[in-house]
Structure 1
Amino acid sequence: MVFFKHNKNLTSHYPRVHCLLKIFNRLPQLAGAIVAIALICSPKTLVFAESGANDDRPDVSTSANEHNRQVFDEATRERLGIKTSIAEAAHFQSEIVAYGQVVNIQPLLSLYNQLMATHVEATIAAAKFKLAEQAMQRQQELFRHEIASKRSLESQQSTWQTDKNQWLSAQLQHQAAYRQARLNWGDVLTGWLNQDKSAAVEQLLTGQLKLLQINLPPNHHLAGSIRQIQTDPAGIREHSSSAVFISAAPLAATGSQGESYFFQSRDERLLPGMRVTAWICSGTGETGVMIPAAALVWHLDQAWIYVESSRGRFEHRIISQFTPAPQGYFVAGNAIVPGESVVVEGAQALLSAENRAPQQDDDD
């Protein structure tokens, strides 16, 4: 290295020359400083320094070419509570959520009593009319053989007509009650009510069966194959019990804009007037993977999961299609391949460690 010596005569007359000489003489030191700063600030230096005794940061390194991956040693993995589980293929049936209530069966009971009463009256009137008709036929035969008088025949005809009118009236009353039941409750429930000693009605009256009216959201229809749904008064899917389809409800519930259906349940928690939440299968189902709720974390409005690609090496994946399920979330498609090791505990710790790690420059 050549250093320029000061010439007092030259520098005294030319101050600029003096400054230039100083800069040239200090170039080696400046170059070393620039190189040191470049090394410190280089975006390619992405490996954490070795953890010291008082350093609580995770021992994580990120590859320059794979900046969405992290590598942890066993001690850090255990300290962060990272646990994995092998993903298994699952078939998931999507569901729509509907709401309804436990029906107060007092009006149903009143209608049942009315149907039974009119049925009994019609039965008695029919029997009485049949006897009157037989008596009139005998009276006509006696009158034909001049054994009975015309007045006796006319009296018997009057009795026959009265009994016939009473029978027709009883029939009309029973039919009116039956039509009213059909308008309010539909054919199936009305058929139950119209049966003598109906087992289903007895179970409804004793509380063994609970009648539910479920209202679907607008523009939704109950598939013909649906014969069972899940319901819960607290709206918790995991605590739900099954309810069996009865029929479509002829009248929509107050305030409901969708179709309405009757179901029967044996859930002892249900009381008349209670609101219930219902889960109804929709569509043909999908194939994917089921993950626990703790496996999914949020970052910048995106859903992430972490997969252990090799021992101690983790990478995040963005999940775009997932559906809440009783076991957590159902991930459709090929976002997670069955057989992969998915982080089921400690995903939030991995996300925090990744956010603290220096990020790879996309231009390099």
Structure 2
Amino acid sequence: MKRNQWNLLAVAIMGAALLAAGLAWLGMRGRLETGESHRAGLVQELPRTTITTHGLKVVVLGKALQAQAGIRTQTLLPARYRGQAGAYGLILDPRPLLALRASYAAALGQLGVARAAATTSQREYERLRFLNRGDQNVSIKTVQAAQGAYQSDQARLAAALASVANLQQTAITQWGSVLEHWALGNTTGPLAHLFNGQDALLLVTLPAGLILPSAPPVIHVESGGSAASDIDARLVSASPQSDPSIQGETYFYLMPARQARIGMRLAVAIPLDKPTVQGAVVPASAVLWYADQAWVYLQTGADRFVRHRVSTQAPVPGGWFETDPGPGQQVVTQGAQLLLSQELLAPSASTETGEGAEEHKDQKDSGSHGADKDQDND
């Protein structure tokens, strides 16, 4: 009797244990299935890449992830561009012009004094000589002394005239005829803005070998900020000076001073007499640098982005002029760095398309046919 009771108790315990194990297994299976479903959902949400026929990767990014990543695009608008050359300008110190003007004013003052003294001594000499010829009221010695004073004043007048002429020639030799006229002429001219700090004098040196039939009346000076804030400089004249560090033709330009400082070197754009080219302006915010080259991301579909190389050889206000990409294409202006990171960091998620996919498919099919043939032989 007791033995039967122990047998029944053992069976009950084993049944309870099996039931608990079954429930635990079912719970674990449910959690595993839930985790797999969650991971599958994450994989679907993650960006994916695929290889193009040209070896570049297409970043596939859904609308939701585009919004989370802050991806912004802009449609490129048609633009026209005329060729230009890059050059450098040096902000000159206007004090030598100011010193030249002061020296010229002093020389003019000395010339006036010398001319007045020569005129006075000439009249005195002629008066005494007349008296000596007439009634002999004046001795010949007095006349000779007056003649000597007159000749001395004439010599001083000639020296003063030579000093003024030398300053004029020095100004022309160093600064050209236009700036010579400004510096030695009326103070109310354009040079007044230079002396009071409103304008700055820019010495522009063209690249070696670049010869222009005539200097452009206006050039664009990079301000150091955005391209849209570039400053226009107005032509003054050709310059007799040269930049010792750069070989090339030189010109004087006048520009608003703003943040310009004496001795600063500024990049300038020289318009060239070339045919106008049709294209588009790629915004500066769209360009990123990778492997020493400039790139942009083009949106080729609702969720597809392709990296595209640009030249940046034609800077314009707001960015760079390009013929490829052209007008109408969508370029990423915000979030391009994130797309580049995804392209570089997610090669394992790539799948081949185009010619590479067809080749891979052919290889796979030939491999499967070979396996079937082996099975038939078996």
Q: What's the TM-score once normalised by structure 1's chain length?
A: 0.66
Give the Cα–Cα distance (whole angstroms) in 2 for the partners of residues 99 and 194 of structure 1.
25
Partner residue of 2:328 out of 331, 339, 342: 339
1:163-220 per-residue CA deviation (whole Å, 9 max, x = no partner) reads 3222112111222222233333332222223225454444444334433334444334
Question: Residue 305 of structure 1 contacts residue 317 of structure 1 at CA under 8 Å; is this kept in 2?
Answer: yes
For residue 161 of structure 2, what is the amino acid of its counterpart?
Answer: Q
> Displacement, 1:259?
3.3
Q: Equivalences for 1:59-70 in 2 at 5 Å?
A: none
> Displacement, 1:328?
3.0
Distance verdict in 2 for CA 1:290–1:233, change over 3 Å: closer
Q: Equivalences for 1:32-71 in 2 at 5 Å?
A: 52-55=40-43, 56-58=45-47
Question: Residue 48 of structure 2 contacts residue 59 of structure 2 at CA under 8 Å; is this kept in 1?
Answer: no
Partner of 1:327: 318
Partner of 2:86: 96
Alignment of 1:275 onto 2:264: yes
Question: Residue 99 of structure 1 contacts residue 215 of structure 1 at CA under 8 Å; is this kept in 2?
Answer: yes
Partner of 1:189: 179
Alignment of 1:123 onto 2:112: yes
Give the Cα–Cα distance (whole angstroms) in 2 for the partners of residues 114 and 65 of structure 1.
70
Question: Residue 102 of structure 1 contacts residue 276 of structure 1 at CA under 8 Å; is this kept in 2?
Answer: no
Partner of 1:359: 352
Distance verdict in 2 for CA 1:60–1:189, change over 3 Å: closer
Partner of 1:12: none
Partner residue of 1:251 out of 227, 233, 241: 241
Question: Residue 295 of structure 1 contacts residue 306 of structure 1 at CA under 8 Å; is this kept in 2?
Answer: yes
Partner of 1:206: 196
**How large is the RMSD of aligned CA atoms in angstroms?**
4.2
Point out the structure with the larger helix share: 2
> Displacement, 1:142?
6.4
Alignment of 1:224 onto 2:214: yes
Distance verdict in 2 for CA 1:109–1:198, change over 3 Å: same
Question: Residue 49 of structure 2 contacts residue 351 of structure 2 at CA under 8 Å; is this kept in 1?
Answer: no
SS of the counterpart of 2:351?
coil
Distance verdict in 2 for CA 1:203–1:154, change over 3 Å: same
For residue 238 of structure 2, what is the amino acid of its counterpart?
Answer: A
Distance verdict in 2 for CA 1:322–1:252, change over 3 Å: closer
| Segment drifting more, 280-289 vs 295-304 | 295-304
> Displacement, 1:90?
1.7
Distance verdict in 2 for CA 1:256–1:129, change over 3 Å: same
Alignment of 1:169 onto 2:159: yes
> Displacement, 1:98?
0.8
For residue 108 of structure 2, what is the amino acid of its counterpart?
Answer: H
Instruction: Give identity over the alignment, percent.
Output: 23
Question: Residue 89 of structure 2 contacts residue 202 of structure 2 at CA under 8 Å; is this kept in 1?
Answer: no
Q: Equivalences for 1:282-293 in 2 at 5 Å?
A: 282-283=271-272, 284=274, 286-293=277-284
| Segment drifting more, 142-151 vs 261-270 | 142-151
Question: Residue 61 of structure 1 contacts residue 72 of structure 1 at CA under 8 Å; is this kept in 2?
Answer: no
Give the Cα–Cα distance (whole angstroms) in 1 for the partners of residues 339 and 283 of structure 2.
16
| Segment drifting more, 175-184 vs 220-229 | 220-229
Question: Residue 249 of structure 1 contacts residue 262 of structure 1 at CA under 8 Å; is this kept in 2?
Answer: yes
Give the Cα–Cα distance (whole angstroms) in 1 for the partners of residues 160 and 233 of structure 2.
37
Distance verdict in 2 for CA 1:51–1:70, change over 3 Å: farther
> Displacement, 1:264?
3.1
Question: Residue 223 of structure 2 contacts residue 231 of structure 2 at CA under 8 Å; is this kept in 1?
Answer: no
Q: Equivalences for 1:147-162 in 2 at 5 Å?
A: 151=140, 156-162=146-152
Partner of 1:295: 286
For residue 111 of structure 1, what is the amino acid of its counterpart?
Answer: L
Distance verdict in 2 for CA 1:70–1:118, change over 3 Å: closer
Give the Cα–Cα distance (whole angstroms) in 2 for the partners of residues 103 and 305 of structure 1.
42
Give the Cα–Cα distance (whole angstroms) in 2 for the partners of residues 81 and 128 of structure 1.
84
